[in-house]
């Protein structure tokens, strides 16, 4: 995966940073490897973030973290597995923005209230991107085509009910256009579909297309950020600049099952904070076009609950085809 290759130098730098003193865990926790369940395919932004975290966390956790990819149901499969796991700290879930969405689409029963949050680690805005040789030169061109022939423009996304499906639906609601939504099993496959010419455009985060933008294979038409992003996206206008009040993005963090012993939760929270503050981890995220956005466990819970309320209200005004 190209995105994974872009993170390789950062991973090597993390290894070169050398060992540090490891904190003793509660009651000899952890005494065996910890599984980190990732709700997406390998190669996407969520997967890369998880692997960068697992590599850096070796400095602060006495056992290795083994990354396990379990995509499907817009993240619902993986997050439900973690929710139902033994509350012993040996199965940690990557919690993603879809956790605040899919319960309101009746796609899964798991909610933001079903975990002990460890930390938020990352947050990224949405983008609309096209293939480099696309005749669509601007977001105005894309919207004009969608208005001229409603439902003809194919818009790829990371899966039904994902944040990027919802982002495209929000564009429809805000601008009055109609797309032909094409779901894939994760962001990475949607990017490959775009590069292969199978869809006209995709909704995606900066991390998932960074290497393709750098290689001149993909162009970004618009950002859903509150303000312009740093290079290489600094010339990309926001929807707000274009007169459309639309700000949407993804976030990623960690959580464990309810009932996990408080001392284990605190151990993981301390390790997550140290990892998030580690310059090597922050630099690695930035190099992979992932924005560091740490919140501690308590802050993350409040944030997730507010996101659930936001998307519940937003979904009530959208016609989402599940």
Q: Is residue 228 in some structural domain?
A: no
78-90 tens-digit pLDDT: 999 999 999 999 9
Count: domains in the chain: 2
Structure tokens at 135: 């005749």
Same domain, 99 and 9: yes
188: domain CATH number?
A: 3.40.190.10
DSSP 232: T
Q: Are residues 111 and 133 in the same domain?
A: no
Could you tell me the pLDDT band of residue 133, with boundaries at 50, 70 and 90? very high
The answer to whether position 179 is within a domain reads yes
What the block records as the tokens of 158 is 């990371």
Of 221-225, 231-235, 268-272, the poorest mean pLDDT is in: 231-235
Mean pLDDT of the chain: 90
- Say if residue 12 is in the same domain as residue 106: yes
Closest C-alpha among 284, 289, 311, 181 to residue 236:
289
Same domain, 151 and 65: no
Average pLDDT over residues 215-226: 96
Q: Are residues 66 and 114 in the same domain?
A: yes
Residues 191 and 101 in one domain: no
Query: Is pLDDT above 90 for 308?
Result: yes
Pairwise CA distance, residues 289 & 283, whole Å: 10
Q: Are residues 19 and 117 in the same domain?
A: yes
Q: Does 95 share its domain with 144?
A: no
Q: What is the pLDDT of residue 21?
A: 41
Same structural domain for residues 38 and 96? yes
79-83 — which CB contacts under 8 Å span 24+ positions? 79/37, 79/39, 79/108, 79/110, 80/108, 80/109, 80/110, 81/37, 82/37, 82/115, 82/255, 82/256, 82/257, 83/110, 83/114, 83/115, 83/257, 83/258
Instruction: Quote the pLDDT of residue 19.
Output: 44
What's the pTM value of the predicted model, to 2 decimals? 0.78
How many whole angstroms separate alpha carbon 131 and alpha carbon 299?
A: 38
Residue 24 has pLDDT above 80, yes or no: no
At residue 320, the pLDDT reads 67
Percentage of the chain exceeding pLDDT 70 = 90
CATH number of the domain at 271, please: 3.40.190.150
Say if residue 232 is preceded by a cis peptide, omega within 30 of 0. yes
**Average pLDDT of the residues in 18-38:** 74
In a domain, 240, yes or no: no
> Prior bond to 30 cis, omega within 30?
yes
Considering the domain boundaries, does residue 244 fall inside one? no
Q: Is residue 99 part of a domain?
A: yes
Whether 229 is covered by a domain: the verdict is: no
Q: What pLDDT is recorded for position 55? A: 97
Do both 103 and 134 map to the same domain? no
Q: Does a structural domain hold residue 236?
A: no
3-state helix, strand, coil in the chain (%, to 5): 45, 20, 35
- Do 155 and 201 fall within a single domain? yes
**Residues whose CB is less than 8 angstroms from the CB of residue 165 and which lie 6 or more positions away in sequence, other chains included:** 74, 157, 158, 159, 181, 183, 203, 320
The DSSP symbol for 151 reads T
Contacts of 196 (CB under 8 A, 6+ apart): none
Is 242 within the bounds of a domain? Answer: no
For residue range 135-194, list pLDDT tens digits in order.
Answer: 999 999 999 999 999 999 999 998 888 899 999 999 999 999 999 999 998 888 999 999
Question: How large a percentage of the chain has pLDDT more than 90?
Answer: 77
Residue 47 belongs to domain spanning? 2-123+250-316
- Residue 175 to residue 242: CA distance in whole angstroms: 11
pLDDT-derived band of residue 17, with 50, 70 and 90 as boundaries?
Answer: very low
For residue 98, give the DSSP letter: G
pLDDT, tens digit (0-9, with 9 covering 90-100), for 238-248: 999 999 999 99
| Cα–Cα distance, 33 to 57 (Å, whole number) | 12
Decide if pLDDT at 4 tops 70.
Answer: no
Return phi, psi of residue 46, to 5°. Answer: -65, -45
Name the token pair of 289. 């076009």
Residues 159, 260 within the same domain: no
């Amino acid at each position: 995966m190209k995105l994974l290759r872009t993170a390789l130098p950062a991973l090597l730098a993390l290894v070169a940073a050398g060992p540090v003193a490891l904190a003793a865990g509660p009651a000899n926790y952890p005494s065996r490897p910890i599984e980190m369940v990732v709700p997406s395919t390998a190669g996407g932004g969520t997967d890369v973030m998880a692997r960068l975290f697992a590599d850096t966390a070796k400095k602060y956790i006495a056992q290795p973290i083994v990354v396990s990819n379990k995509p499907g149901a817009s993240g619902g499969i993986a997050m439900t597995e973690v929710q139902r796991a033994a509350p012993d700290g040996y199965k940690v879930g990557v919690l993603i923005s879809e956790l605040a969405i899919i319960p309101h689409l009746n796609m899964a029963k798991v909610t933001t209230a079903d975990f002990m949050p460890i930390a938020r680690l990352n947050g990224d805005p949405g983008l609309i991107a096209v293939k480099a040789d696309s005749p669509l030169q601007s977001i105005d061109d894309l919207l004009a085509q969608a208005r001229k022939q409603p439902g003809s423009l194919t818009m790829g996304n990371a899966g039904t009910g994902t944040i990027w499906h919802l982002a495209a639906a929000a564009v429809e609601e805000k601008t009055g256009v109609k797309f032909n939504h094409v779901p894939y099993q994760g962001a990475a496959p949607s990017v490959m579909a775009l590069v292969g010419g199978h869809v006209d455009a995709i909704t995606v985060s900066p991390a998932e297309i960074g290497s393709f933008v750098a290689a001149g294979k993909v162009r970004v038409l618009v950002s859903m950020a509150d303000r312009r992003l740093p290079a290489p996206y600094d010339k990309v206008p926001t929807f707000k600049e274009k007169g459309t009040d639309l700000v949407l993005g993804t976030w990623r963090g960690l959580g464990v099952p309810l009932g996990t012993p408080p001392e284990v939760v605190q151990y993981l929270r301390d390790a997550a904070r140290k990892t998030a503050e580690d310059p090597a981890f922050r630099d690695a995220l930035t190099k992979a076009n992932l924005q560091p956005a740490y919140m501690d466990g308590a802050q993350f819970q409040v944030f997730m609950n507010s996101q659930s309320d936001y998307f519940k209200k937003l979904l009530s005004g959208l016609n989402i085809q599940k």
